[in-house]
Structure 1
Amino acid sequence: MFEYVEFPILPIVKTHLIINCVLAVITLVIIGLRLFARFLTGAGLWWDDYLILFAVPQGMAMVVIQGLWAPMGVGYPMAETAPNIEHILKMLVSYELIYATSISTIKLSVLIFYLRVFVNKTMRMATKGVIIFVCLWSVGNILQVFLICRPFAAIYTVALMPTAQCGDQVGSFIAIGAFNIITDVLILTLPIPTVWTLKTSKGKKIALTAVFLVGLLVVAMIRIVTLTQLDLVNLTESMVWADFWSATEPNLGIFCVSLPMLGTLWTRYFSRKSPSKLDPYHSSENGTNGTNGFSKLKNSSNPGTDTIVMEDLYAPNKEVYHKTDVAAATPDGDRAGTPLRANSSEEALTMQMGDHRNYHRQPEGIRVQTKWTISVD
């Protein structure tokens, strides 16, 4: 272990570290619940899950570096922390690289999730375009760490700084942060048209949008403000808030983008809504007015406003893509004309019962009615 001059940790720095440690623990719990939800449905993991799992240790590493910095004089004038400055700068290089890869990994996880859920051709093409943009931005983030100074060692070696050729490091941090916000805006706006056309309550739509907004955009905007206050000439004293928000952003991002994946657990164990809305295969033991649970199931075709009309995001079959044919009906009930194509979710559920779908043309538009027929041998 390297030697350094230890300083008493300032109260504000200690508070920041405690907050990020608590957030890191909560994030690990949410990730555990996310994995449990995936395996609970028999779906297993997909690329968006693998990317988030890859981002988790990076988010934890950011908090570890924050903890290592704390007793080195964060918050103190640089004139007092000069004996530790090279150790701080060396860790800053790792800090930048880990931040760049963790944020990029989280963004790519969200975009891959979009590809898994949405089958709209325009949406998928736009998502792939944003993936390319994020990848190029990530490469630029990593390259600037190695190219900002010549020689490279001048980034962390005080003796080389007077003769080295270095670009504006704070300016590069701000530029990276600005592009970070741009990518966040792109990621947030991609699914909004689809999310807001779902047959679900406005509260759920707002909640789903807000989760991504806070996790991806708000913290990035706050962080870029703190970066404008960073002064490399007085690094240790000016880095207090930039250090805090830079360590907060990855873990908060992992936390927020994982929350929507817990819907399966919520509906199974925590929701107090009617079982008929939560589980299409649920049947009550006692019928009402002579109608048993299977009859209710068969006749239930109009979901409520709090039901998201999408197939399970964690369906077992992750590879099968399909569309639903919806055809207009003639007055006598026969299907006629060219079928109308309607998007459904990208995953075809493997049903353990017969699936019979009838489609009817209503005066106000197209109505899709789903019925199940269950036979016992």
Structure 2
Amino acid sequence: MGLSTLQPLAYAVAYVTFFFGTASIFLRFYCRIFILKTWGLDDWVGVAVLVFNTGQQAILHMFLYWGCGLHITELSQNQILQILKWLFIEEVFYYTVHFVIKMAFLFFYLRLSPNKFFRGLVYAGMGLNASIFITNILMACFQCLPFDEILHPGTHPDAVCINKLVLLIVPSILNILEDLYILILPISTVWNLQMSLRRKIAVLCVIGFGACAVIIACFRLIPLFELNSSPDTSFVLGKMVIVAALEIQFAVIAVNLPSLKALWLRITGGSSSGSGPGYSDQKGYKLSSMERKAGNGSGMGRSGRNGKSKGSRGSITRLERGITSTESEEELFRQGGTALNIPTQGSKMDANAIKVTTDVKIRSTGRQDEDVPQSTHFLGGH
């Protein structure tokens, strides 16, 4: 004997996953504002994720309120009509939520590298995402002519509608393809970062957590095919509520995970921010690098007429603090002032502070070559 109702399970999955998804958004905001102090454009997109994700949850609640998860024989005609109305609203809103979440991923990727080719691929992904979103919205809004046939099927004998299976499957496949593009896009960039193999794999796992949402989206195709053939629409939509809740909230958590690494490092005693004991004051957000332009009379710092650099300072910044930092710095800035066991050339330590001096030699071109020692200092007190 089959299940008589899916509503208890659907309510539980929808609200438990929504709690964790929303919590990850607010934790992201906390990390970016108070720990990393690097609020960016992708965080504003994160605000949009919060708004649309809340709207998505309200729609799933209305589905269940009007009887999704129950067999259609148990529903009144008014309940069935209400479900059809909310089904159309959910189509439009579901595509919008996907669009906003994907844009949050892509804007975050712009932080990863200044490489023009990589950024071009990110912008191409944004264009593809917008194109898929517009296509899906047009399909949803013009699936039937006249429009009233969408909300009251069968009342217009001369209505022209898109094939139901095409309407259900094509948007989902397009979203899955865009998800795969977003997952694959940062792999080569992260792999080329100056980090240990273990850390590279860890970063890729954090970013790749979104694969869970893609896998769930693939499983979503099963109830979609069932929705096309089954007359028990309300019961099948109960399954759709469960799958949609899992898919959307896993995607929301995935887009916030890179920022939450900073909170994890603070809790466990790692280094991630410029505030609190044991943390660096620097607020950089790019890969540790030193760039210079040679041969054009310019470089880092100032150059005199004779080509010698005067008082130039090399800049050391980071890519996504809390995601990439050098292994030695992490050991030096363990929260709580743990002792150093690794000898570092040029490092000095007393009872109250740790001072690390890194000497970098820069050769400038001119009438004669001159090595200029560059130093960066990181201070951390107990």
State TM-score, norm by structure 2. Answer: 0.69
Could you give the per-residue CA deviations for residues 133-160 of structure 1, whole angstroms, max 9, x where no partner exists?
A: 1001001111111111000111011452
Of residues 106, 110, 117 in structure 2, which corresponds to 1:122? 117
Question: Aligned in 2, Cα 1:323/1:106: closer, same or farther, shift over 3 Å?
Answer: farther
Unpaired runs of 5+ residues, structure 2, are 295-307, 309-315, 322-354, 364-372
Alignment of 1:338-353 (within 5 A): none
Question: Aligned in 2, Cα 1:206/1:155: closer, same or farther, shift over 3 Å?
Answer: same
Query: Is 1:256 the equivalent of 2:254?
Result: yes
8 Å Cα contact 1:34/1:262 also seen in 2: yes
Query: Is 1:268 the equivalent of 2:266?
Result: yes
C-alpha distance in 1, partners of 2:62/2:317?
A: 49
Query: Is 1:372 the equivalent of 2:366?
Result: no
Of residues 10, 13, 16 in structure 2, which corresponds to 1:16? 10
Could you give the per-residue CA deviations for residues 206-263 of structure 1, whole angstroms, max 9, x where no partner exists?
A: 5224312224x12221212321221374321322222221233222211121011112
C-alpha distance in 1, partners of 2:191/2:134?
A: 33
State TM-score, norm by structure 1. Answer: 0.70
Equivalent position SS for 1:133:
helix
C-alpha distance in 1, partners of 2:317/2:56?
A: 40
Larger deviation: 188-197 or 205-214?
Answer: 205-214
Question: Aligned in 2, Cα 1:235/1:45: closer, same or farther, shift over 3 Å?
Answer: same
8 Å Cα contact 2:92/2:137 also seen in 1: yes
The equivalent residue for 2:218 is 221
The equivalent residue for 1:364 is none
> How many Å apart are 1:67 and its aligned residue?
2.1
Of residues 90, 95, 100 in structure 2, which corresponds to 1:95? 90
Query: Is 1:324 the equivalent of 2:291?
Result: yes
Question: Aligned in 2, Cα 1:357/1:218: closer, same or farther, shift over 3 Å?
Answer: farther
Equivalent position SS for 1:372:
strand
Identity %: 22
Question: Aligned in 2, Cα 1:228/1:46: closer, same or farther, shift over 3 Å?
Answer: same
C-alpha distance in 1, partners of 2:275/2:75?
A: 65
Question: Aligned in 2, Cα 1:115/1:61: closer, same or farther, shift over 3 Å?
Answer: same
> How many Å apart are 1:101 and its aligned residue?
0.6
2:26 aligned partner, one-letter code: G
Unpaired runs of 5+ residues, structure 1, are 1-8, 285-296, 298-310, 328-334, 336-342, 362-368
> How many Å apart are 1:345 and its aligned residue?
5.3
The equivalent residue for 2:141 is 146
The equivalent residue for 2:238 is 240
Of residues 91, 99, 102 in structure 2, which corresponds to 1:104? 99
The equivalent residue for 2:164 is 169
Equivalent position SS for 2:376:
strand
2:202 aligned partner, one-letter code: K
Equivalent position SS for 1:117:
coil
Query: Is 1:181 the equivalent of 2:176?
Result: yes
Alignment of 1:299-318 (within 5 A): 315=283
Question: Aligned in 2, Cα 1:81/1:129: closer, same or farther, shift over 3 Å?
Answer: same
Question: Aligned in 2, Cα 1:370/1:182: closer, same or farther, shift over 3 Å?
Answer: farther
Question: Aligned in 2, Cα 1:170/1:64: closer, same or farther, shift over 3 Å?
Answer: farther
Equivalent position SS for 1:163:
coil
Q: What RMSD, in angstroms, separates the aligned Cα atoms of the two structures?
A: 3.9
Equivalent position SS for 1:43:
coil
2:94 aligned partner, one-letter code: Y
8 Å Cα contact 2:35/2:275 also seen in 1: no
Query: Is 1:69 the equivalent of 2:69?
Result: no
2:260 aligned partner, one-letter code: L
C-alpha distance in 1, partners of 2:97/2:374?
A: 43
Larger deviation: 162-171 or 72-81?
Answer: 72-81
